[in-house]
Amino acid sequence: MKMQALKELFRKVFGSAGNPVHVYFAPGRVNLIGEHTDYNSGYVLPCALTFGTYLLIRKTAGKDVKLASENFTYRATVPWEEIGKKHGSEWVNYPIGVINQLMQKGLEPTGMEMLFYGNIPNGAGLSSSASVEVVTAEAINDLTGLGLGKVDIVKLSQKAENEFVGVNCGIMDQFAVGLGKADHAIFLDCGTLDYELVPLALGEYKIVIANTNKKRGLADSKYNERVEECASAVKFLKKKKQLESLSDISFDEFSKIKPVIPDETVRRRAVHVISENQRVLDAVEALKNNNLEEFGRLMNASHYSLRDDYEVTGRELDVLSELARAQEGVLGSRMTGAGFGGCTVSLVHSSNIRVFMETVGEGYYEQTGLRADFYVSEIGDGVHRIE
């Protein structure tokens, strides 16, 4: 949707009189490697995309917060004293949860009219929720002069999703959305929040995202179950080593003491997280050495681990990634995001992209009865004000 059309929609929903309307944008994200490590204080390597969430916002004289979206029919007018109240499972819980967190940071009561528009595919696992959260926090912080830094915005956006929405996500999504940079990946230590911007010199290769179009609800999935299983693994490992998370132990150390975890399923969850951390370190080194073949190999290994040890892929993601790896000009392919549906990310030579999408799309439909959507992704900047 073009900006002029969004402004017309804003005037249609909220009227034309009043203060100036400001526009903010927050991207979606794709994680290149390092899956289900973020809530284990581990390493991740995401990047921001050039599609995401637009927020048109206007301050008003009253104390009501009015929320609407071009993507959803549900709208809400929330009196300031009811900001802490949930609206069932509706989308407005994401921005309302952020406003609730901003209140705890000193935000004074203020009226706002907010119109959201997102071009991130819903349910694709490309962080539409984090995009909504971060753009809300950035806009209100900027317009009210609250003075929060980008990392503060990232932290409170994650906290809103954990405590208000009820999803035990790690900080990776919000961090990539908030601090992404064009043509760079973010090598992030989720335990310390130390990060490094790593140039993505892909040459003739492109990042191609394929959406399974299998519907999934993150809050209803087994995501929270995996969080609990990892916590259980840490509890057992503490009998042999002092640690606070699965990221506090190397794979070699773990291999020596892993029998202390009696449950085989919990043990395999730990195997994935600890080996995935090492794959991220190796992937960063591969990028710095312009070794895209090794980077692709690590992507493949990541998918196998997520499939076999962490069990979060499912048939649709497995079919898409298997078909992708069989194509000419593909260096690697893996699921990205929480899993249980969502997307794969593949590294594809630019001369093969058209055939890749046609062949993989046809094979996927034949095996699943679903139509995949494909996006050739550019790497963009994090949250920012447009006007």
Q: What is the pLDDT of residue 379?
A: 94
Q: What are the residue ranges of helices labelled H in 145-222?
A: 150-160, 172-179
Architecture of domain 3-198+381-385: 2-Layer Sandwich (3.30)
As beta bridge partners, residue 118 has 53
Average pLDDT of the chain, as a whole number: 94
Q: What's the pTM value of the predicted model, to 2 decimals?
A: 0.90
Q: Which of 168-172, 218-222, 370-374, 383-387 has the lowest mean pLDDT?
A: 218-222
Q: Which CATH superfamily is domain 201-377 in?
A: GHMP kinase, C-terminal domain (3.30.70.890)
Alpha carbon distance 177, 384 (integer Å): 10
Give the chain's radius of gyration (CA, Å).
Answer: 21
Categorize the per-residue pLDDT at 224 as very low, low, confident or very high, splitting at 50, 70 and 90. confident
Categorize the per-residue pLDDT at 219 as very low, low, confident or very high, splitting at 50, 70 and 90. very low
Position 218 pLDDT exceeds 70: no
Task: Give the mean model confidence (pLDDT) for residues 314-337.
Answer: 96
Residue among 116, 62, 61 at smallest CA distance from 94: 116
Q: Which of 30-39, 118-127, 320-329, 362-371 has the lowest mean pLDDT?
A: 118-127
Alpha carbon distance 340, 241 (integer Å): 33
Percent with pLDDT over 70 in the chain: 97
Q: DSSP for 16-85? A: S-SSPPEEEEEEEEEEEE--S-GGGT-EEEEEEEEEEEEEEEEEESSSEEEEEESS-S--EEEEGGGTT-
Q: Which residue has the tokens 């497995």?
A: 318
Say which residues have a Cβ less than 8 Å from residue 186's Cβ, sequence separation at least 6: 44, 45, 46, 47, 175, 176, 179, 180, 195, 196, 197, 198
Residue among 267, 330, 337 at smallest CA distance from 302: 337
Categorize the per-residue pLDDT at 121 as very low, low, confident or very high, splitting at 50, 70 and 90. confident
Residue among 212, 184, 167, 182 at smallest CA distance from 32: 184
Alpha carbon distance 178, 130 (integer Å): 9
Point out the catalytic residue in the list 173, 252, 263, 381: 173
Say which residues have a Cβ less than 8 Å from residue 209's Cβ, sequence separation at least 6: 30, 124, 126, 336, 343, 344, 345, 346, 374, 375, 377
Q: At what angle do helices 315-325 and 353-368 cross, to 10 degrees?
A: 140
Chain segment 258-302, per-residue pLDDT in tens: 999 999 999 999 999 999 999 999 999 999 999 999 999 999 999
Q: Which of 32-41, 220-229, 327-336 has the lowest mean pLDDT?
A: 220-229
Domains of the chain, by residue range, sit at: 3-198+381-385, 201-377
Categorize the per-residue pLDDT at 220 as very low, low, confident or very high, splitting at 50, 70 and 90. low
Chain segment 139-150, per-residue pLDDT in tens: 999 999 999 999
Q: What is the pLDDT of residue 126?
A: 78
Active-site residue flag, 173: yes
End-to-end CA distance of the chain, in Å?
17
